[in-house]
């Protein structure tokens, strides 16, 4: 009788063991699923956040931004023949056509007198990065500025190094690759005065400047990188070639960057009479004063 009872209990024990093993398997699967979910969550959280947008979200009205009456009148003298309405129209400027006023705007002025023609243009560009995960708006604006600086053939500001003897320095015309080029030629010996004491034939009278030169010749300042204007800035000064009948015009261009906005100013003086050369110091100074005013306008 005892042997029969044992045979009946054994099948029940086997069934309970199988059920317990199945439950353990299900528990293991559930744990594996939770572990995979945790791993995915960590991977998603490790992605870098995109850069913040640039400081400027819009641009000022260019004609009004530069409408400082004193600066404009100094840069663009109007002829006396203009009526008050014509003067107001001259200094109001003409806005450039723009299809996106939040990205590109500009304004232009023209002043003509019997002695010269003066042209002024001001442009604003707001740079936007379409992938701020790779570069911020400021980074993209810096790339645009460096490209403009390179196009002007000016050296990019970097660590100050002392060039070796005869080394070329593209930012300093006084130190070319050939050291002999920087040495001025010896002065010619003065000619002996005529015995009669009268000026020689063809020589100008005393105190009279030579043709094509001004009585007080000013040194050329040249193109260069500027300091104290926006985040970074440069000035490009170009003088047209001299001609027998054409006057030499001077064009000063200033480009500066403030955060993600790039400002371009171009100021040109075109004399009427041949041999007249606009001074670089005065032309550059007027352009720089306007550039400083625009930089302050952006920071308001």
Domain ranges of the chain: 62-155+219-298
* Residues counted in the chain: 300
SS3 256: strand
CB 175 within 8 A of CB 260: no
Gap between the Cα atoms of 119 and 122, Å rounded: 10
pTM above 0.85, yes or no: no
Work out the angle at residue 114's Cα, subtended by the Cα atoms of residues 113 and 116, and round it to the nearest 5 degrees: 65
Q: Please report the pLDDT score of residue 5 as a whole number.
A: 47
Gap between the Cα atoms of 56 and 168, Å rounded: 40
Q: What is the pLDDT along the chain (300 residues), one digit of tens a residue?
A: 444 444 454 455 444 444 445 444 444 444 444 444 444 444 445 466 788 888 999 999 999 998 887 889 999 998 889 999 999 999 999 999 988 889 999 999 999 999 999 999 999 999 999 887 888 999 999 999 999 999 999 887 654 333 444 444 444 444 444 433 334 444 444 444 444 444 444 444 433 344 444 445 567 889 999 999 999 999 999 999 877 677 889 999 999 999 999 999 999 999 998 888 999 999 999 999 999 999 999 987
Q: Please report the pLDDT score of residue 246 as a whole number.
A: 78
Q: Please report the pLDDT score of residue 1 as a whole number.
A: 46
- 286: tokens are 């007027």
């Amino acid at each position: 009788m005892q042997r029969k009872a044992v045979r009946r209990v054994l099948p029940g024990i086997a069934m309970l063991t199988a059920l317990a093993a199945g439950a353990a398997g299900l528990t293991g699967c559930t744990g594996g699923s939770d572990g995979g979910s945790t791993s995915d969550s960590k991977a998603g959280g490790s992605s870098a956040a995109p850069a913040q947008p640039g400081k400027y979200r819009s641009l000022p009205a260019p004609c009004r931004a530069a409408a400082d009456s004193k600066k404009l009148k100094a840069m663009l003298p109007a002829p006396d023949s203009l009526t008050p309405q014509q003067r107001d129209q001259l200094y109001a400027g003409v806005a450039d056509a723009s299809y996106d006023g939040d990205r590109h705007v500009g304004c232009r002025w023209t002043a003509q007198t019997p002695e010269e023609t003066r042209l002024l243009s001001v442009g604003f560009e707001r740079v936007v990065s379409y992938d701020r995960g790779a570069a911020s708006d400021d980074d993209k604006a810096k790339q645009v500025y460096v490209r403009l600086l390179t196009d002007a053939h000016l050296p990019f500001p970097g660590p100050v190094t002392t060039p070796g003897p005869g080394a070329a320095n593209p930012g300093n015309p006084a130190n070319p690759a050939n050291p002999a080029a920087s040495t001025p030629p010896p002065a010619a010996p003065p000619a002996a005065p005529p015995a009669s004491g009268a000026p020689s034939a063809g020589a100008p009278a005393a105190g009279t400047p030579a043709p094509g030169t001004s009585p007080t010749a000013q040194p050329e300042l040249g193109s260069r990188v500027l300091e104290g204007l926006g985040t970074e800035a440069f000035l490009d000064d170009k003088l047209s070639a001299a001609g027998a009948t054409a006057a030499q015009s001077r064009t000063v261009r200033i480009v500066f960057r403030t955060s993600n906005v790039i400002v371009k100013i171009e100021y040109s003086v075109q004399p009427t009479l041949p041999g007249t050369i606009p001074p670089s110091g005065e032309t550059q100074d007027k352009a720089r004063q306007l550039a400083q005013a625009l930089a302050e306008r952006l920071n308001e």
